[in-house]
Amino acid sequence: MVYPPELDDPDRRPPISSTPVRPAMPATGATTTDSALDVPSFAQLFRLMGRALRLRCPNCGVGAVVRPWATVNDSCSHCGFRFTRSSDSYFSGAMLANLAVAEGLFAVAFGVSLIASWPNVPWDTLTWALPLGIAIAPALLLPFAKVAWLTFDVAFRPITPDEIVAPR
Ligand SMILES: [Zn+2]
């Protein structure tokens, strides 16, 4: 190994550890979940998706996951499941997926309405309706996106006992 001149003295070199370097883990009591992956059955998936459509807790199906509008509660009021399963940016993926799905659905709806009304397309109406729809669609779907994100995570990464806090 070649050392820079300032570390040429073996006594000044940093110690070489034989243990692998691990990423810094949060202290005990932090909100990171590191549970094993699992493949849910179709019955479990259908049950979980039913709960997600009602914006309910994926663990018990009773407590509300979000409160208006799309603010995620800390934990389930019924079973105590902690909804933010890792860092504070846990739901940022949900926001990105929501944007993609919402705009995709909007594009499909626009295409269908275009074909259905051809050749008398109401261009004047579309001029103001399109930007409005593009802005509103992601906002309307955001609560569902967050709950769906959490539900899929729970489906494939089952809840561990340390994720259950005392119900409030
Ligand atoms: Zn619950």
Interval 53-73: pLDDT, tens: 999 999 999 999 999 888 999
82 alpha carbon – ligand 1 mean position (Å): 9
**The pTM is what?**
0.71
167 alpha carbon – ligand 1 mean position (Å): 9
Rounded Cα–Cα distance for residues 76 and 57 (Å): 6
pLDDT of residue 39: 85
Quick: pLDDT tens for 13-58. 555 545 444 444 444 444 556 677 888 889 999 999 999 999 999 9
Which two tokens mark 130?
A: 């399109």
Q: Which residues are close to ligand 1, an ion, with C-beta < 5 A? A: 57, 59-60, 63, 76, 78-79, 81
97 alpha carbon – ligand 1 mean position (Å): 24
Beta-bridge partners for 56 = 64
Whether the link from the prior residue into 69 is cis, omega within 30° of 0, is: yes
Statement: residue 76 has pLDDT above 80? yes
44 alpha carbon – ligand 1 mean position (Å): 16
- Cβ atoms within 10 Å of 122's Cβ, excluding its own: 10
